Amino acid sequence: MLTVRAKLVIPNYISAPIVPIVIPDLNEVRRFAADLHAKRKAWSGEAFGWQAEYTPSRKEPPLDSKMTWTPADFCIGESGIWFFSLMWERGDTAEPVEFLDDKNIVKRTRRQVSRPPHKLKRK
């Protein structure tokens, strides 16, 4: 996990607030998505602290598309803050096409280290 600062674009605000967020390591996300893809079952829930979902491929084409089938896809995050997706556009056995929206990440701070909670000293 990596702590970063993200600019939140909020309508009618003069300036966008900048807040710290934690984003997952993309290699971990890729492994998670690959495990879901191997099962070929629809899934939605929370992963790495973000909303995520996987949809397997379907024989039916997407609406208003010239495609002859609907590719499998995985997405995680929140558009406009941090978002990552994988789409198996070339078929279920090919490598997926990736898309990363991190344009509002303004500063990477430091990698998170797992450690026990800080104990307060009592007087």
pLDDT in tens, 11-27: 766 777 788 889 999 99
Q: What is the token pair recorded at 58?
A: 């379907």
Render pLDDT for 83-122 as a digit per residue (tens, 0 to 9).
999 999 999 999 999 999 998 888 665 554 444 444 444 4
Task: Report the side by side order of strands in the sheet with 43-47.
Answer: 43-47, 50-55, 73-78, 82-87, 97-101
> Count of domains in the chain?
1
Query: Given this model, what pLDDT does residue 118 score?
Result: 45
**7-13 average pLDDT score:** 70
111 contacts: CB under 8 Å, gap ≥ 6: 1, 2, 3
Render pLDDT for 42-77 as a digit per residue (tens, 0 to 9).
999 999 999 999 999 999 988 888 889 999 999 999
10 is a domain residue? no
119 is a domain residue? no
Does residue 13 sit in helix, strand or coil?
coil
Query: Given this model, what pLDDT does residue 104 score?
Result: 84
Query: What does pTM read for this prediction?
Result: 0.77
17 is a domain residue? no
The Cβ of residue 90 has, within 10 Å, a number of other Cβ atoms equal to 11
Query: Given this model, what pLDDT does residue 98 score?
Result: 98
30 is a domain residue? yes
Does residue 5 sit in helix, strand or coil?
strand
Range of the domain at 76: 24-102
